[in-house]
Amino acid sequence: MFIESLNLSHFRNFKEVAISPDRHINLITGSNGSGKTSLLEAIYLLGFGRSFRPGGFRQLINEHTDQFTIFCRTANHSIGVRRTTSGDQTLRLDNANATKMSEVARLVPVQLLTPESVDILLEGPSLRRQFLDWGVFHVEHSFYKNWVSYTQILKQRNSLLKQYLASATQDKYWLEQLAYYGELISVSRENYLKELSDYIQELAKSFLSNVTIEVRLKKGWDSTQSLFSALESHTEKDKKYGFTSVGPHKADIKILADGVDVKHRLSRGQLKTLVSALKLAQGKHFQSVKGESCVYLVDDLTSELDADNQRLFCQQLEKLNAQVFVTAITGKQLSDKFQKSPKMFHVEHGAINE
The piece of 28-36, 141-149, 231-239, 245-253 that touches ligand ATP (CB under 6 A) is: 28-36
Regarding 142 and contact with ligand ATP (CB under 6 A), the answer is no
Q: Which of 35, 109, 182, 247 binds ligand ATP (CB under 6 A)?
A: 35
- CA pair distance 38, 22, nearest whole angstrom: 18
Q: Which of 25, 27, 36, 284 binds ligand ATP (CB under 6 A)?
A: 36
Q: Which of 13, 74, 201, 235 binds ligand ATP (CB under 6 A)?
A: 13
Neighbours of 300 (CB within 10 A): 18
Give all strands of the β-sheet with 252-257 in edge-to-edge order: 213-218, 252-257, 260-261
Regarding 37 and contact with ligand ATP (CB under 6 A), the answer is yes
Q: Which of 5, 20, 23, 59 binds ligand ATP (CB under 6 A)?
A: 59
Least separation in angstroms between residue 67's CB and ligand ATP is 12
Least separation in angstroms between residue 307's CB and ligand ATP is 20
User: Are the CB atoms for 47 and 108 separated by under 8 Å?
Assistant: yes
- For ligand ATP (CB under 6 A), the number of binding residues is 14
User: Which string of DSSP letters, residue by residue, matches 169-225?
Assistant: HHHHHHHHHHHHHHHHHHHHHHHHHHHHHHHHHHHHHHHSTT--EEEEEE-SS-TTS
Least separation in angstroms between residue 46's CB and ligand ATP is 16
- CA pair distance 171, 236, nearest whole angstrom: 11
Q: Which of 9, 24, 52, 62 binds ligand ATP (CB under 6 A)?
A: 62
Of 10 and 157, CB closest to ligand ATP = 10
Alpha-carbon 318 to chain mean position: 20
- CA pair distance 295, 280, nearest whole angstrom: 11
Task: Answer yes or no: is 350 a known binding residue.
Answer: no
Task: Answer yes or no: is 167 a known binding residue.
Answer: no
Of 61 and 93, CB closest to ligand ATP = 61
The piece of 33-41, 76-84, 88-96, 287-295 that touches ligand ATP (CB under 6 A) is: 33-41
Of 258 and 354, CB closest to ligand ATP = 354
Task: Answer yes or no: is 35 a known binding residue.
Answer: yes
Of 231 and 328, CB closest to ligand ATP = 328
Long-range contacts of 135-138 (CB under 8 A, 24+ apart): 135/192, 135/196, 135/282, 135/285, 135/286, 136/188, 136/189, 136/192, 137/105, 137/106, 138/106, 138/109, 138/286, 138/290, 138/294
Task: Answer yes or no: is 33 a known binding residue.
Answer: yes
The piece of 60-68, 226-234, 261-269, 336-344 that touches ligand ATP (CB under 6 A) is: 60-68
Regarding 54 and contact with ligand ATP (CB under 6 A), the answer is no
- CA pair distance 324, 26, nearest whole angstrom: 6
Distances in Å between the Cα of 338 and the Cα atoms of 207, 304, 310 are 17, 17, 9
Task: Answer yes or no: is 186 a known binding residue.
Answer: no
User: Which residues make up each annotated binding site for ATP?
Assistant: 30-37
Footprint of ligand ATP (CB under 6 A): 12-13, 30, 32-38, 59, 61-63
